[in-house]
Amino acid sequence: MKRRGFTVIELLIASVITSMVAAAVIGTMQAVTGSMQQQDLAADAMARAARAEARIADHVNRARLVLAQDADEVALWLPTEPFTSSATNTSDYDTINANELAWYVVDASTGTLTLTYLTNRSDRTTYGLSTNWSSLRTTLQMQQKLTSVPVIEGLASGQFRVEDADPCSSGRFTFDGAMTDARGGLALQLGGPLTNRQRHPDCP
């Protein structure tokens, strides 16, 4: 008995079915890959947010005062010496020194929240409470005396919530932001009330 070969129509049908199955498999694989990528982005964004929260929480705990704040910048006073109540210590503790300053700055053009501080950690230059802290940062930046490190990158939006601009009454700082879709689109809220806030002697 002669074996009959496949007809052209049968081959076409088989080809169509094979293409449909292949398309379905590829679509499923792409969906799974896309889902895994989204999960990776979300996990990466959460890890970045956790690191930023830990850094800022440390400063919330250590800061004595929020020296200045606006939507794009916050200046903090972070005393380096412990308080022992001796006359000398009290004077030192109440003095704002250069190496005790830290700025958080939002750069909308790069989508970055940056921490800036004096490169020379032994710089004990003193400043009064009424210093223009934003101008001081600009001056020190021009003199190349500052170090800046990114705290959060990939921001779609972000700014500080200004509740009180007076350092004598301001007791907290809060950053509200959101990551780009490429970074997981995570909403952020960092900061809070200062744990160890103490008034400066020049406060009324």
pLDDT tens by residue, 89-102: 566 788 999 999 99
pLDDT tens by residue, 29-84: 665 555 556 666 667 777 778 888 999 999 999 999 999 999 999 999 999 866 55
* Domain contains 148: yes
Structure tokens belonging to residue 139: 């001056």
* Domain contains 63: yes
| Stated pTM of the model | 0.78
**CB distance 33 to 167 below 8 Å:** no
Tell me the backbone φ, ψ of residue 199, rounded to 5 degrees.
-70, 150
**CB distance 73 to 107 below 8 Å:** no
Helix (H, G, I), strand (E, B) or coil at 146: strand
pLDDT at 145 over 60: yes
Residue with tokens 């809060």: 174
* Domain contains 201: no
**CB distance 188 to 158 below 8 Å:** yes
Mean pLDDT of the chain: 85
* Domain contains 10: no
* Domain contains 16: no
Higher pLDDT, 141 or 83: 141
* Domain contains 39: no
Q: Note the pLDDT of residue 3.
A: 54
Beta bridge partners of 112: 107, 153
Residues 25 and 22: their CA atoms lie apart, in Å, by: 5
* Domain contains 92: yes
- Residue 140: give the domain boundaries: 47-193
- DSSP letters, 180-191, are -GGGT--EEEEE
Rg (CA), the chain: 28
Tell me the backbone φ, ψ of residue 41, rounded to 5 degrees.
-65, -45
What's the domain count of the chain? 1
* Domain contains 1: no
